[in-house]
Amino acid sequence: MTGICAAQPRFLRATAVPESRQRTSIVNESQTTPAVCSYLEWDSNFFGVRIGRIESRRLDPDVLAAATEWAHENRMDCLYFLSVADDPQTVHLAERNQFQQVDVRMTFERNVPAAGPERAPLDARIRLAEEKDLPALRAIAAVSHHDTRFYFDGYFDRTRCDQLYETWIEKSLHGFAQAVLVAERDAQPVGYVTLNLRKAESQIGLIAIAAGHQGAGLGRVLVEHSLDWARTKGARVMKVVTQGRNVPAQRLYQRCGFLTGSFELWYHRWFRR
């Protein structure tokens, strides 16, 4: 099973553009008006280019013009745009204005069951991750998420993309996820899943199985244990995001009782390439 990348983690946060860059207001000076774009400080520092994000999920000529002006005024190298998929104007404006579609974002969801399923014996142990697991988890993460938008963009260095997911799993273990479960064989971690909880909604972040251990049902067992964890935390719903091109991941979630909740499009626009 190829790795699954879910929603953007909490350490990839949007921030206000530094005052020295705020030469032009996007909409107006009212503090009650949401910004059209945000500066992504973590992404920018990590990849070494200035990256922003359009906050709206829809485009019209005014939003497009404001976002483009903001990008030029603040010397952005790249703009991310997560778009609805059912608005022709939005899609047409994006694709006619140098936005490259890099991913289809699919959200799956299901109710957390009242009791876990009966499980066949498995030659693996599922447990909470420990600090000693980190080298193995980083090694798995570096090669397991090649279906994600960063690799398909074409302008991000692939080695740096590998390091992004190494960093993601490390930060998850150190508190950015509320739990990291590990599948262990022969005293060695061979898979992981990261979990978060917000009120009654639980979410899978990353999930991956190491090469050589795929096809044995470990992915499904990790998902089932994730649902067990969510149930103990009082969650009623579990969600996960994966890529439209990642058919094995979609089938995994369908086998585990998940249904499609939403379908969106990721675009990137580069200004300095």
Q: Each residue of 75-126: pLDDT tens digit?
A: 999 999 999 999 999 999 999 999 999 999 999 999 999 987 777 667 789 9
- Which range is least confidently modeled, 4-8, 178-182, 264-268? 4-8
Residues 118 and 204 in one domain: yes
DSSP string, 8-29: PPTTS-EEPPPGGG--S-SS-S
pLDDT at 6: 56
Residue 15 has pLDDT above 70, yes or no: no
Q: pLDDT band for position 132 (50/70/90)?
A: very high
How many domains does the chain divide into?
2
Give per-residue pLDDT as tens, 186-238: 899 999 999 999 999 999 999 999 999 998 899 999 999 999 999 999 999 99
Rounded to whole angstroms, how far apart are CA atoms 221 and 200? 22
- Which range is least confidently modeled, 15-24, 84-93, 229-238, 258-267? 15-24
- Which range is least confidently modeled, 20-34, 46-60, 180-194? 20-34
pLDDT at 19: 39
Residues 132 and 148 in one domain: yes
Residues 147 and 78 in one domain: no
Residue 75 lies in a domain: yes
Residue 258 has pLDDT above 60, yes or no: yes
Domain boundaries, position 72: 14-105
pLDDT top residue among 38 and 31: 38
Q: Which of 45, 72, 105 is the last residue of a domain?
A: 105
Chain centre distance of CA 14: 14
pLDDT at 123: 78
Residue 26 has pLDDT above 50, yes or no: no
17: left (phi over 0), alpha (psi -120 to 50) or beta: beta
Residues 43 and 99 in one domain: yes
Residue 129 lies in a domain: yes
Q: What is the DSSP letter of 56?
A: -
Q: Which of 105, 134, 162 is the last residue of a domain?
A: 105
User: Whole-prediction pTM value?
Assistant: 0.87
Rounded to whole angstroms, how far apart are CA atoms 245 and 226? 23
Tracing tokens 């400080």 back to the chain, one arrives at 41
Task: Share the mean pLDDT of the chain.
Answer: 89
pLDDT at 14: 52
Residue 7 has pLDDT above 60, yes or no: no
The answer to whether residues 55 and 34 touch, using CB atoms and an 8 Å cutoff, is: yes
Q: Which of 70, 87, 105 is the last residue of a domain?
A: 105
Residues 95 and 173 in one domain: no
Residues 129 and 239 in one domain: yes
Residues 99 and 219 in one domain: no
